[in-house]
Structure 1
Amino acid sequence: MTVTRPAAVANLQIDNERVRVTEWRFAPGTETGWHVHPTDYVVVPMTTGELGLETRDGVAVNSLQEGVSYTRVAGSEHNVFNDGASEFVFVEIELK
């Protein structure tokens, strides 16, 4: 699995012994690229809209709402992409 879209922009805000906080900005047509999360993490959407999620099991489209957070466990492997017409922004908080 290879990156086929331009990269989303990651802005590292905090990286210390306890947490890593990154703001992700997805212009239309961008993606994170395939990656595995080594730790549990929380995502806080800063906009409302849809993001695509590619996993080994296939592709899903997730509807996300500004300020409605969700969490995932360590080992999550995926590629997140924005096929929408508007920028999508979320903050990711990785728990070390």
Structure 2
Amino acid sequence: MTDETLGQIGDEIIFENEFVRVWGLRLEPGERQSWHVHQLPYLVIPLTDGRNEMHWKDGRVVNTAEVPGQALWRMPGAAHELVNTSDWTYRNILVEVKTAGGAA
């Protein structure tokens, strides 16, 4: 796998400004999201229950158990892919943090 073969972080960007980029992701049962890498810290906000596997280049597999309304903080890191191992459609919102905001 090379950097040229990496996919997008989500299906579509649903909002973006100078502070954040917000992605929507939908995975059907058994569907595999392409290999991708996060360059920015981010939040994952599940919209549905999630029973997924994160596969890492070094062979690690991490099982996830997500529930709607959670907010999961993650730091940028190595390339990985996500597999929906459930028998339902998994959806989430992913918020990449580009920079700290200014004064309120």
Q: Which TM-score applies when normalising by structure 2? A: 0.77
- CA root-mean-square deviation: 1.8
Q: Is the 8 A contact 2:46 2:92 kept in 1?
A: yes
> How far 1:76 moved relative to its partner?
4.2
70 and 76 in structure 1: CA distance in 2 versus 1, 3 angstrom threshold: farther
| Higher percent of residues as strand | 1
Structure 1 or 2, whichever has the larger Rg, is 2
> How far 1:49 moved relative to its partner?
2.9
Where structure 2 has 5 or more consecutive residues not aligned to the other structure, the ranges are 2-9, 99-104
Where structure 1 has 5 or more consecutive residues not aligned to the other structure, the ranges are 2-8
Q: What SS is found at the alignment partner of 1:93?
A: strand
Q: Any runs of at least 4 consecutive aligned residues in structure 1 with deviations exceeding 6 A, and if so which?
A: none
How many residues in Structure 1 have an aligned counterpart in Structure 2? 90
Q: Confirm whether residue 42 of structure 1 aligns to residue 43 of structure 2.
A: yes
For each residue in 1:4-36, what CA deviation from the matched residue of structure 2 results, as whole angstroms up to 9, or x when unmatched? xxxxx7131012221110110011121221111
What's the % identity of the aligned pairs?
A: 29
